[in-house]
Chain A
Amino acid sequence: MAERSDLPQGTLDLLILQVVAAGPIHGYAVAQRLQLISHDVVQVPQGSLYPALHRLENRGLLTADWKMSDTGRDSKFYRLTAKGRKQLKEQAASWARLTEAIGLILKTAGERR
């Protein structure tokens, strides 16, 4: 089994927003997509996923509806709100800046030695 990395809460929120941005999606699918795209690196257990989804919903970044799903049962589908879209853009930009900076430090700091 691939190594499971523990995601800090803020990062998980960002990932969820990104996944939901593509269109209405239910919780199980979010977890599946995250696992798939990251090649099994990011595996989010229920105990982290659903609290995160609800928290984002409470903060008004996501909104949810119960709709008929492919299984024939009703499922809760999440969508991004305008506020959520804005937050996603900001967080993604911020993350990109951070990773670039870390990358630079790692590269140059290594060269110095």
Chain B
Amino acid sequence: MTWWRRLLRSRALEREVDAELRDHIAREIAAGLRAGLSEADVRRQMRLTSGGLDQVKEACRDVRRPPALADLGADFRVAVRMLKKDWRFTAGAILTLALAMGVANTAFISTYATLWRDFPFERPERIAIVRTIDTRGRDAGVSYLDYEDFRRDARLFDGPPAAVGIATISLGRDGAPPEQFEGLYVSADTFSLVLRVKPALGRDFAPADDRPGAEAVVIISSNLWKSRYGASREVLGRKVTVNAVTPATIIGVMPEGVRFIDFTDVWLPLAQMPGLAAQRRDTRSLMMIGRLPVAADFDGVRTELSRVAANLAVAHPDTNKDIRPDVMSLLDAYNGGGAMSLTNSSIFMPLLAAAFVLLIAAANLANLLMARAAYRSREIAIRLAIGSTRWRIVRGLLIESVLLATVAWVLAVGFSWLTLTLSSSQAPPQLPYWRIKMDGWLLATMAAVALVTTGLFGLAPAIYASRRATAEGLKEGGRLSTPPKVRRWTHALLVAQFAVTVALLNGAGLTARRFFNFYAVDRNLQTSDAVTTFLRLPAQTYATRDQRVAFHEQLRARLLAVPGVTASTVASAAPFSAAGRRPLTAIDGRPTIDPAPNVMTVLVEPSYFQTLVGSLVLGATFSELHGTPGHEAAIVNQRFVSVYLGAGSPIGRHLDLRPPAVQRTYLREADAPAPPVSVAIIGVVQDIRQGQGQSETVPIVYLPFRAEAPAAVSLIVRGSGAVPIVPVIRDAVGAIDPDLALGAVSTLDELRDRSRSVPAAMTSQFAKIGILALVFSGMGLYSAMAYAVRRRTPEIAVRMALGSQTRQVRWLFLKTGAWVILVGVILGVPGALMVGRLLQNTLVRTEARDIFTLIVTIALLAIAGLAASIVPARRATRLEPTTALRIE
């Protein structure tokens, strides 16, 4: 009978063996009776030779079962029982492991999502993005004429490269109010040959669509298809007006998840890009993308492209002389051109911190398991004496470890899933293709780590305990004795834990402090009840500056007429958003350094400051006259004053600013760089944050809106909260120009949160890690102290019986705790300083020598540690001496 069949029939077989043995015994007794012995004598003799019936049965059982599966079921049940009995230990171990793994999982997944994007393209690592860079390090795109030259050389890429140009595109006159979207002009084979992704519905662009004069066709994203056209299949062939002037037909819908470049919803053929044909060779507003040739890598492509670029430099020296190609992988381009890689501290730190927390948790676990092993040495000794093998005992302990690891793993997975779901629903970061997902490999690795950790830390003490469980273990105090070596390990581990915690907590503190300090400037702005949206006035209908100014005056009048609207203003860039820059060529007539610094410039209506910050710090806001010729004025922020102007009143000083050289092609205004304009400073305003990802406040110059009246603006409207503002804005805009599309609407609060979502996330992650480290260390110290108290209870009883005061006894334990904390802190301070130094180079700049934070960290740690030591100590002193003595 095969072993598994024996397993299934085990109960029947058990009965059979029982019957067989009883038969044997009966015969033995019968023979004994015939020989004149009594039954009792026969039985006694049998027991002497064979042992009891149960032992024989046990021997037979061992023969029956396959060695591996023997008693596994029984061991399992025993393990569960033991874990339930010592529930405090079980809970502590599971909690420690689960939290640590959960944190690690969350940290790894977030980092993974930030660094490696989920591109829906075929083999995205072989897609290259090409821009240009000049000898002065200034970057720009690729010009159309250069692109055509690159395209002629068939060896450069695998298939022809494509060119893409970013634009804001509005769609209208298709049954719904006009709306603005992120758009991209693409060459015809962008999707088919370079990205290699097919439309989910309809067709891709054909070469015929990408010819000058061809009828305009549009491909839309799945998002747009759902939000604007209700996911209706009727959308194919639908007529729509692009940018209020161009009739077009929708021919395709891209699959879910495709939003190339980043949040694009509308694609048009490159030939449709206004002014493309008229672009000069040095108008570099496009990006070239191509697939790496089959056997080549990025360096190879760089070399080849440089060769072609060198030829172009010779052929067109006035435009291409210093221009070199800048080749990046798709991933690097999304990660800020390589700024976000694993070596960048700001990404690296939370990951490293999570790793350290894992170490602390592991140390805790080790301590817990060691204490438990020592505590159970008596039980183990008894089991050995009854006849269990060492292997059985070790296996039992291992099963306990596996159970712990499994439960902890399940909790960890659940915990991190919960955290990730909650955090990603709150404020999705403005990072394209950022997808949080539980990675199967990561989960498997975590499970493996959990098993190995508990197995390892459970095994060593298990072997130790089973080896030591001799007669010594059976003695009265045997259960509770720990050799000094083990105790020293415990203390060493605790000291290490506290040292690491000091560093982590300090890092978290520094990060938090910096975050709050830096973003405190946002409090200058009143962000509640304010809404912002984009408006782009198409060049065809608003060709002149005066037309645009008139539009905005009309709009403002209409909006303010609505009850519930308290303020309305317009700016070239909303707060917290990126703004343009222009060269500051002179201050008070004295030239600035060469090349001239590019200062951030925002064009604002006079009501801007009133709407956003109330009053200015100095001077007054623009009047209706400012911005007209002869009345050039500017308002600067406080940072500008401290960086460029120094002491003395800024009012009346003059700045020379050169208007931007590259105009948007569809503005049809002068392409050549204009001469610098001299402006007089008439006011100083508090710092308002523009742009994202900065580590310090930026100097800003505010210019009057009417000086240039750019076509693309942000409209900021503040309401009293009584009436929903968005429909009001839509109506007002629609009343003046029904073809005008509003861009995406956000509240100022949303804009602010999004602009600092990455540093905010990192700060909170770091804070969680620091607190977790503190909790673990506290827990570790607590359990070590509790165990020590339990171990020394008889000693305490004796001491108290002999006349010790409770205070003295308590001090006995506090001493150990205090010593651990002290040494831990001393060892941890250098680590903390090092962490501070590392953090200095990150997104969130910190002061390395922030003594205040260090002191607070140490104080927190000391309080936690002392509390952890006191509680068990107090419990010990409350025991009655006689009870204490009786406790074994």
A-to-B contact residues, CB < 8 Å: 26-28, 43, 45-48, 50-51, 54-55, 58, 69, 71, 73-76
What residues on A are CB-neighbors of B50 within 8 Å?
Answer: 45-47
Known A46-B21, A46-B46, A50-B59; contact A58-B64, beta-carbon cutoff 8 A: yes
B795 close to A (CB within 8 Å): no
Interchain CB contact under 8 A, A47 and B24: no
CB of A79, distance to nearest CB on chain B (Å)? 15
Does A51 contact B63, Cβ atoms closer than 8 Å?
Answer: yes
Point out the residues of chain B lying under 8 angstroms from A75, CB to CB.
20, 23
Are A46 and B56 in contact, CB atoms less than 8 angstroms apart? yes
* CB of B231 within 8 Å of the partner chain: no
Shortest B533–chain A CB gap in Å is 83
A48 partner residues in chain B, CB cutoff 8 A: 59
Nearest CB of A to B13, in Å? 9
Known: A47-B50, A54-B60, A58-B1. A71 touches B26 (CB 8 A): yes
Q: What count of chain B residues pass the 8 Å CB interface test?
A: 25
Out of A45, A58, A73, name the residue touching B63 (CB < 8 Å). A58
In the bound complex, residues from chain A placing their C-beta under 8 Å from that of B49 are: 43, 45-46
The answer, yes or no, to whether B228 is at the interface (CB within 8 Å) is no
Given contacts A45-B50, A74-B19, 9 further A-B contacts (CB under 8 A): A27-B24, A43-B49, A47-B51, A48-B59, A50-B59, A55-B63, A58-B6, A71-B26, A75-B23
Question: Is there an interface contact between A47 and B23, defined as CB atoms closer than 8 Å?
Answer: no
Looking at B28, B56, B62, which has the most chain A CB atoms within 10 Å of its CB? B56
Which residues B39-59 have CB closer than 8 A to chain A?
A: 46, 49-51, 55-56, 59
A34 to chain B, nearest CB (A): 14
On whether the beta carbons of B59 and A76 are closer than 8 Å, the reply is: no
- When distances are taken between beta carbons in the complex, the residues of chain B under 8 Å from A51 are 59-60, 62-63
| A70 CA to B548 CA, complexed, in Å | 120
With contacts defined as CB atoms under 8 Å apart, how many contacts are there between chain A and chain B in the complex?
A: 59
Q: B1's closest neighbor in chain A, by CB? A: A58
A28 touches B63 (CB 8 A): no
**Complex Cα distance A38/B120, Å?**
84
Instruction: Give the docked Cα–Cα distance between A84 and B698 (Å).
Output: 94
17 contacts between A and B (CB under 8 A): A45-B50, A46-B21, A47-B51, A47-B56, A47-B59, A50-B20, A50-B56, A51-B59, A51-B60, A54-B64, A58-B64, A69-B23, A71-B26, A74-B23, A75-B20, A75-B23, A76-B20
Closest to B48 in A: A45
Residues of B close to A58: CB separation below 8 A: 1, 3, 6, 63-64
The answer to whether B17 touches A50 (Cβ under 8 A) is yes
| Cβ–Cβ < 8 Å partners of B59 in chain A | 47-48, 50-51
Partner of A28 from the list B16, B23, B51, B64 (CB cut-off 8 Å) is: B23
Question: In the complex, how many angstroms separate the beta carbon of A82 from the nearest chain B beta carbon?
Answer: 17
Q: Which residue of B lies closest to A55 (CB)?
A: B63
- For the complex, is B27 an interface residue (Cβ under 8 Å from A)? yes
Cα distance, A10 to B514, chains bound together (Å): 79
Q: Does B30 belong to the interface (CB within 8 Å)? A: yes
Residues in B neighbouring A46, C-beta threshold 8 A: 21, 24, 46, 49-50, 56
List residues of B (266-305) whose CB comes within 8 Å of A's CBs: none
Residues of B within 8 A of A (CB): 1, 3, 6, 16-17, 19-21, 23-24, 26-28, 30, 46, 49-51, 55-56, 59-60, 62-64
Q: Is the CB of A71 within 8 A of B51?
A: no
A26, A28, A75: residue with the most chain B Cβ atoms closer than 10 Å? A28
Partner of A73, one of B21, B26, B51, B60: B26
A69 CB to closest chain B CB, in angstroms? 8
Q: Which residues of the partner chain A approach B27 to less than 8 Å between Cβ atoms?
A: 28, 71
Q: Which residues of A are found within 8 Å of B1, using beta-carbon distances? A: 58
Tell whether A26 pairs with B55 under 8 Å between CB atoms, given A46-B50, A47-B50, A54-B64. no
- Among residues of B, the one whose C-beta sits closest to the C-beta of A73 is B23
Closest chain A CB from B438 CB (angstroms):
47
Distance in angstroms from B56 CB to nearest chain A CB is 5
Quote the shortest CB–CB distance from A29 to chain B (angstroms): 8
The 3 closest A-B pairs by CB, nearest first: A46-B50, A45-B50, A28-B27
B23 cross-chain contacts in A, Cβ below 8 A: 26-28, 69, 73-76
- How many angstroms between the C-alpha atoms of A51 and B23 in the bound complex? 16
Q: B16: shortest Cβ distance to chain A, in Å? A: 7
CB distance from A59 to the nearest CB of B (A): 10
Report the minimum CB–CB distance from B73 to chain A (whole Å): 21
Query: In the bound complex, how far is the Cα of B405 from the Cα of A82, in angstroms?
Result: 51
Q: Which residues of A contact B56 (CB under 8 A)?
A: 46-47, 50
Bound CA span A48–B46, Å: 13
Smallest Cβ-Cβ distance to B52: which chain A residue: A47
Most B Cβ at <10 Å: residue of A26, A46, A51, A69: A46
> How far, in angstroms, from A46 to B17 measured CA to CA in the complex?
12
Query: Would B20 and A27 count as touching, CB distance under 8 A?
Result: yes
> CA A47 – CA B48 in complex, angstroms?
11
Contact status of A71 and B60, CB under 8 A, knowing A58-B1, A76-B16: no
- Measured in the bound complex, the distance between the Cα atoms of B30 and A48 in whole Å is 21
CA distance A27 to B23 in the complex (A): 9
